Chains A and B, each alone.
Chain A
């Protein structure tokens, strides 16, 4: 892949995800993980992008082989659990439960003219609480400090998925 991409070729990633929707390989998607958090917070270092998708194929594979095959035909490379565009790793993760709701409720945005969706902050916090690694707890703290949160929505999500914020 040529060096035509910046360090984070996010517009290319989102365009590719939109193509997957158009091709019927996925129903819907949203940007999750650290890059979704950065939509709301200060920039932090991250080394990959997480695309959370609602599968068209409801079998166990969630249509991932077809997604990989489609992206590889567009020049993407596979390296372990990541697909690489240029040298930038992207994870395509099938949504279910909380993450599926997060995709459904995601915020429509434009990135360099490409339409996309980003997880809402309340869902980023709830997902971080459900995963619970150190970096997730740091993300919760950062979101609560820097982002205006819909407290009622967050409490509702936490209650419905039996989650708790740290120190609560």
Chain B
């Protein structure tokens, strides 16, 4: 069944097949671009995590706890 479908595709006009390959290329570029954007978002998220861990060194100390004890 799958082979028959692929053979049918093979019999399409050359121009149409080249157009389909162009669509595949565009799709592939879009997926790569999206993946790249996702990667930037992940970097930003990791940056926030890193900031929290650095600030935490000051915020989570005993002096800081004592200063905020009356709240």
Could you tell me which A residues sit within 8 Å of B by CB distance?
6-8, 10, 35, 38-47, 109, 111-112, 145-147
Contacts and interface: CB of A to CB of B under 8 A. Distances in A.
User: Mostly helix, strand, loop or mixed at chain B's interface?
Assistant: helix
Interface stretch (B13-21, B39-47, B48-56, B57-65): B13-21
Interface residues of B, number: 19
User: Mostly helix, strand, loop or mixed at chain A's interface?
Assistant: loop
B26 interface: yes
Nearest to B25: A7
Contacts of A6: 19, 22
B3 A43 contact: no
Contact of B10 (A47, A112, A146): A146
Contacts of A41: 10
Given A7-B22, A7-B26, A43-B9, 10 more contacts: A6-B22, A7-B23, A35-B21, A38-B17, A39-B14, A42-B6, A42-B9, A43-B21, A45-B24, A146-B7
